[in-house]
A = this chain, B = another copy of it.
Amino acid sequence: MDPIGPRLKTLRSHHGLSQRQLARKSGVSNATISLIEHGRTDPSMGLLKRILDAMGVSFADFFAAENRPPEKFFFASDELSVISSGPISFRQVGSDLSDSQLQLLHERYQPGADTGRSMLSHDAEEGGIILQGRLEVTVGDQVRVLSAGDAYLFNSRLPHRFRNTGSEDCVLVTVCTPPSF
């Protein structure tokens, strides 16, 4: 496993707590916290949970991300990578999302553009906000035409479809977690 000691230490300092303060809040001895942070002991799950609880962090949160921060934070408009062209164009924020949990896209649907029905098996979640034009969105057995300012949010396991039934381009910002491609 990866060193949880340093992770715990930075988490503690981010909360502005000393080893002894955290020890009091969690009911764990300060010695144990020191030993864990230095990797000199293999803490039990129950003990680790008491420590994380004291800082309001769940196991899911703590183990969720071993993803290092991306070195590139800002993207000029012309730096957005074009993923696909044709009747539907995607402009993605960031080029390599292998370390990222977030896929942010600027999309444009030409009149008549249609994704077709897609059923994604992986457990993801996606949403979007319409900026311009109209878009017909199908999720499960529900269908709705959204226009500028409207939005959607659903679990990607559900079958879904996007279609521009209007006569003008439809522009929207979408997001997916984790990235779908």
Contact = CB atoms under 8 A, between A and B. Distances in A.
A100 B175 CA distance: 13
A72 to B, nearest CB: 8
Interface string A25-36: 000000000000
A137 B93 CA distance: 16
Interface stretch (A82-90, A108-116, A147-155, A161-169): A147-155
Given A42-B45, A44-B43, A155-B69, A175 B121 contact: no
Interface residues of A, number: 73
Nearest to A7: B123
Contacts of A100: 125, 153
A123 B119 CA distance: 29
A128 B158 CA distance: 25
B158 A69 contact: yes
B65 A63 contact: no
B74 A150 contact: yes
Interface of A: 1, 4, 11, 14-15, 42-49, 55, 57-67, 69-70, 72-78, 80, 93-94, 100-102, 104, 106, 119, 121-123, 125-129, 131, 137, 139-140, 142, 144, 146-155, 157-158, 173, 175, 177-178
Given A77-B147, A93-B151, A177-B177, 10 more contacts: A15-B121, A58-B63, A58-B65, A61-B123, A70-B153, A73-B152, A73-B154, A77-B151, A102-B177, A104-B175
